[in-house]
Amino acid sequence: MSESNISYRAMMMRRIRSSMEQVYAITMFGLRFFRYVLVPPYEWGQVRKHLDDLGAKSIPLLTIVGLIMGLILALQTRPTLDRFGAGGFLPAMLALTIVRELGPVITALIVAGRVSSGIGAEVGSMKVTEQIDALEVSGVDPFNYLVVTRVVACSLILPLLTAYVDFLGIFGGYLAEWISYDSSMQLYFTEVLQSLEFNDIIPGVGKTIAFGYIIGIIGAYQGFNTTRGTEGVGRAATTAVVLASLNIIFLDMIIIQLTLLLLGSGS
């Protein structure tokens, strides 16, 4: 075996080992959250602050995305359904697609892009400027004050934002139908409501609690482990977005399979 092949294999092994060590470190960091969240003191003032910073300020972007998502999905799907004489099923198809999958995942990815990077940059800046050390000297637990409050806020606000985007996506589909075919709003939303069941809504919105947890934990982890000054802060923000997005997609795949198994065994 040539020397170049040996060095390449050694480099790949180092990368794999580094990746596994990072997965382990993030997992331990995330499990630490559950030990803190149930133990006083509770920083509810900080949670309320982060609910506004992390959630409410995402509403303008989510409003535009939700409406456009419904519009595009309806405009692209309607011709295909008409070819098979199934145009009347559009409201039901649109509602199920958005509520079950598109709404939760797109909302989580958008919030991850905005919030996870913000958490990573903010906590990372506090790390490199030694503000976290100052909190410890002041007798404040930095993990409880900086991490738990942000993760709780993300987990609480994301289901509400998802429900908001779901409604806007369905309404955007109606706008497309009204513009193209002058459809009746009452008929459209009647078909939407008839197509949705409890088992469609709860898993779709409920899994965003886990998405919010991922967004908060990964952003805070990257911030807490920031090194090399301002360069490290930028790297922490970028890495937080990438890892949060990948974990959201991976977790969504697992939840879909579990939901199908549970619903299948229940029937």
pLDDT for 70-107, tens place per residue?
A: 999 988 888 888 888 777 788 888 999 999 889 999 99
Q: Domain for residue 10, yes or no? A: no
Is position 125 within any domain? yes
Amino acid at 73: L
Kindly state whether residue 9 falls inside one of the protein's structural domains.
Answer: no
Residue 196 inside a domain? The answer is: yes
pTM: predicted TM-score of the whole model, two decimal places: 0.86
Q: What is the pLDDT of residues 23-59, one digit of tens each?
A: 888 888 888 888 888 877 778 888 888 888 877 788 8
In a domain, 38, yes or no: yes
CB neighbour class for 46 (10 Å; exposed up to 12, middle 13-18, buried from 19): middle
Q: Does residue 41 sit within a domain?
A: yes
Residue 5 lies in a domain: no
State the pLDDT at residue 127. Answer: 85
Q: Which domain holds residue 246?
A: 24-266
Spans of the chain below 50 pLDDT: 266-267
Cβ density class 12-40: b for 16+ within 10 Å, e for less: eeeeeeeeeeeeeebeebbeebeeeeeee
Assess if residue 219 is contained within a domain. yes
Tally of structural domains, the chain:
1
Q: Give the pLDDT of residue 40.
A: 79
Predicted local confidence at residue 267, as pLDDT: 46
What integer pLDDT is reported at residue 163 of this predicted model?
Answer: 92
